[in-house]
Structure 1
């Protein structure tokens, strides 16, 4: 009898909780609609479909109760106030390039779309920040930013791929200019933020300086950034390198990467930056390397890239050009036709780095997914000592990576396919691949303990790999500015030591 009573009681409690949760979610959309009728998109509307499918990876397409696309920072603050008071889950999407399901999307509650925040304005020095800067709204993809700045002979330390959005700055942001200037986040002078009190605040070195530091790599754990004020610098034309090679050139490409990474190689020239990738199709056993690279001077065929330019392949747009012209060559990444997953690991620069990265990928794919209906690959992202020194010189960040530990390669392994039934297969392949690679790198003392927030897989954590007690400091800052844990519990994403999955 006691057991039956307990079951009935628990059932009643769960029913109340479930009903309250459903009521809160529905009530939140109704409240938002009454306050901001032009900014709420409901299920069935064309705007709802457009916003919920504005993600690069189809795996991130979920169905929230409604979409809130505020027209201003004050409207966003008013909407966040409604969501906090109703205890409603809300995801935040700017560029929508993160492929992982439920990180910047949600299958319940409210999706906040930053699509209306398209500001691009220049501010010359002298000013209160001591540097010329671009005020950049959170909706802008990097392609639009570079095109705007190119008209003024300027640039910023921003992303490398046309459709990627400003949200990348909250994870650091890897740039073609990182060897000279550090992470993108090292070059922010101010953030405009809607905080956990639903207030619009300015965050910089003088106003909320601890929060300013936290935003340079702390993800979506501290507020919603509406605008980024980014240092600008004069920008001449550059040499853009964009090549693809057939499978028979794979070994030469691997050797060129190794030569670039090692002492005396192309990495020594801070004006050069690489964005390599190697695609593998298991069904045909075909490896295809490619490279997009930037040299920050109008010089044809710079010595920093000579090992790559010597390999016969397909020229996809080499030559002296504007930054925007090179970035425009990556616009194909905006196609929303496939389901993507990725995981990352980091490996010290060494002559064995590339063989481990490539050979292990092929071996695991042949073993686990020999007939995979899609393709896999790896983006081999080099992080140099010069990059880490520049990050320190430009104010540091929560990652706090020490240049004395040397340079390393971030191996971003990915899968791309169409059939949702392959989700579990792709996830298992990536987890096994990362485990296998790390077993090898640890055995050879080549493992570098850093997981880049912007490249994480669903089961990975970045913050525990940050150095110098950064995670504890981030947690303390979170408690200070968000004592109720709004951005730790209501907002999906990579939290400070755990995951909140919005799916």
Structure 2
């Protein structure tokens, strides 16, 4: 079903309710006829199927509310928050790309699907783009391409704007400008009261800071105002290599040197992708250079490793995200992932981390559909406009992400146990060497990870103070159970 057909179907939905506990859904449907999707509607199955992971697709809300304007969101909040029924909890979704169950969906409540609020609007002087939270980066980039402009968005076109920016945002420009959330001028926000406010550093400085990585803790964001940047093309390369110790040692040497402050190039972002599929290993490098420069020398350490070829081109940002995204599945059955950050160590430490990963995957090589990816990449060089607890301007922070995908729920514990064991060993190695840092990145984290705790007690206290001030009844702490909570 195309998006246009989906929108038409939403608009034509009858005011019909078939639910085992319909009270809240009935109230919303009375307020917004044609904007509520029930479990017997064909659009319901389509909406559920659009989540990336099987865990989120399995969650069953009583109904789905599809606002088209900020006013819709405001009226929804005013309708639902006074209700005390057990079915009056709600979830907020954009792209639906987060893997773990209940991150952006809810059993027995209302899921607010923001995807109709998906505008990309340029200011008159084209220096600011106003983005709807329900947009996808593919569409944002393509709309800006005719103007030779870009914004700090996702490296996968399928990612949603709202979750990406509210959780932090690793971008092609992250080594130059920081996290995506470091560069948000203002937020249009619906508070727990239903009031609509515009949050800037000048108007609500405490809330403006808390929203940078604060996810869904303070209200429903209905617009992000972000800076635009000139872009007439960027360098993109995706190279494949034979998987052997010689290549891995060369990768470890190249990455460790790449991350040394003396070699820092603020246009260069990249990732080493080590994959294990059913016990078979492979390695790829994704290389991105934000400027229109072919074969930038900063990547020589990687491109000079004997390889099996691949993409190497100057392309628009829109085309890069389309090409890179074509290498990834559009959905997965079951998944589990963890992330962690550290200061760049010597090459031999990277090799030890790789060997821990290799050995750990053997325990689950026979799991049906098993795929485990071990990603190593630079971290964003923050400008300090957030509560992450990271040193501003520090260029030698790196990040790792371990992701497992597989077929069956019956293997959840086996996979989870194996990944946890690998990551514990890797983090232990980094900790003993003095390289591990506390920071956990929201958008890569599993729900079991203590994201906000890792940002430091003082920063958590600031988020909690903002929550109490702007949401004194704790609506977004208790009635919106999904996501990471500040309390």
Answer yes or no: same fold by TM over 0.5: yes
Aligned mate of 2:306, from 292, 295, 312: 312
Q: For residues 31-50 of structure 1, what are the structure 2 equivalents within 5 Å? A: 31-50=27-46
Does 1:224 pair with 2:214?
A: no
Give yes or no for the alignment of 1:262 onto 2:260: yes
Seen in structure 2, the aligned counterparts of structure 1 residues 152 and 468 have a Cα distance that, compared at 3 Å, is: farther
Q: CA deviation at 1:463?
A: 0.8
Q: Is the 8 A contact 1:137 1:227 kept in 2?
A: yes
Provide TM-score, normalisation by structure 1: 0.87
Q: Deviations over 1:405-441 (max 9, x none)?
A: 7622211111011112112222222222222222222
Q: Choose 201-210 or 479-488, whichever is displaced more.
A: 201-210
Q: How many residues align?
A: 459
Q: Report the equivalent of 1:137.
A: 132
Contact 2:248-2:351 at 8 Å conserved across structures: no
Shift of 1:271: 1.2
Unpaired runs of 5+ residues, structure 1, are: 1-22, 126-130, 499-503
The yes-or-no answer on 1:84 pairing with 2:81 is: yes
**Residue equivalent to 1:449:** 438
Q: Distance in 2 between matches of 1:142 and 1:447?
A: 32
1: CA distance, partners of 2:198 / 2:115? 21
Q: CA deviation at 1:256?
A: 2.1
Matching of residues 50-61 of structure 1 within 5 Å = 50-61=46-57
Shift of 1:359: 1.6
Question: What is the alpha-carbon distance in structure 1 between the residues aligned to residue 77 and residue 112 of structure 2?
Answer: 9
Superposition map of 1:242-257 within 5 A: 242-248=238-244, 249-257=247-255
Aligned match of 2:98:
98
Q: Which residue matches 2:157?
A: 162
How far apart, in 1, do the equivalents of 2:182 and 2:356 lie? 34
For residues 356 and 123 of structure 1, the distance between their equivalents in structure 2, rounded to whole angstroms, comes to: 50
Deviations 1:122-169 (A, max 9, x none): 0034xxxxx821011111111111111111111111111111111111
For the residue of structure 2 that corresponds to 1:144, the secondary structure is helix
Match of 2:66 among 66, 69, 74: 69
Conservation of the 8 A alpha-carbon contact between 1:138 and 1:165: yes
Q: Check whether the contact 2:117–2:132 (CA below 8 A) recurs between aligned residues.
A: yes
Matches of residues 203-214 of structure 1 in structure 2 within 5 Å? 203-214=199-210
User: C-alpha distance in 2, partners of 1:63/1:214?
Assistant: 30
Whether contact under 8 Å (2:332, 2:405) holds in the other structure is no
CA contact (8 A) 1:93 1:114 kept: yes
Matched, 1:459 2:459: no
State the SS of the aligned residue for 1:230: strand
Contact 1:475-1:496 within 8 A present in 2 as well = no
3-state SS, counterpart of residue 377 of structure 2: strand
- Give the secondary-structure state (helix, strand or coil) at the position aligned to 1:60: helix
Secondary structure in 2 aligned to 1:105? Answer: coil
Cα RMSD after superposing both structures: 2.0
Aligned residue runs from structure 1 range 171-210, under 5 A: 171-210=167-206
Deviation readout 1:33-86 (Å, 9 max, x if unpaired): 111121111012121111122111112111110110112111111112222112
Superposed CA offset, 1:229-262 (max 9, x none) = 1111211211111222231333333332222123
Residue in structure 1 matched with residue 474 of structure 2 by the alignment:
485
Specify the alignment match of 1:4 in structure 2: none
Instruction: Write out per-residue CA displacement over residues 343-383 of structure 1, whole angstroms, 9 at most, x where no aligned residue.
Output: 112222011442243221122222x3242221111121212
CA contact under 8 A between 2:242 and 2:282: conserved in structure 1? yes
SS of the residue corresponding to residue 38 of structure 1 reads coil
Structure 2 residue aligned with 1:296? 290
Is 1:357 the equivalent of 2:346?
no
Q: 2:402 aligns with which of 407, 413, 430?
A: 413
8 Å CA contact 2:232, 2:316 repeated in 1: yes
Distance change (3 Å), C-alpha of 1:476 and 1:43: same
Residue 306 of structure 1: SS of its match in structure 2? helix
- Counterpart CA distance in 2 for 1:345 and 1:156 is 26
Evaluate the alpha carbon distance shift between residue 334 and residue 146 of structure 1 in structure 2; reply closer, same or farther with a 3 A threshold. farther
- Taking the aligned partners of 1:353 and 1:412, their CA distance within structure 2 comes to 16
Which residue of the other structure, out of 426, 429, 438, is the alignment partner of 2:418? 429
Aligned to 1:501: none
Contact conserved, 2:154 with 2:164, CA < 8 A, in 1? yes
**Does structure 2 retain, via aligned residues, the 8 Å contact 1:117–1:226?**
yes
Offset of 1:180 from its aligned partner?
1.0
Please state whether the residue corresponding to 2:429 is helix, strand or coil.
helix
How far apart are 1:181 and its partner, in Å? 0.7
What is the distance in 2 between the residues matched to 1:495 and 1:56? 19
SS at match of 2:99: coil
Contact 2:259 2:395 in 1 (8 A): no
TM-score, normalised via structure 2 length: 0.90
Measure the CA separation in 1 of the matches of 2:21 and 2:101: 20
Structure-1 residue corresponding to 2:16: none
Residue of structure 2 in register with 1:20 after alignment: none
- Selected match of 1:326 from 320, 323, 348: 320
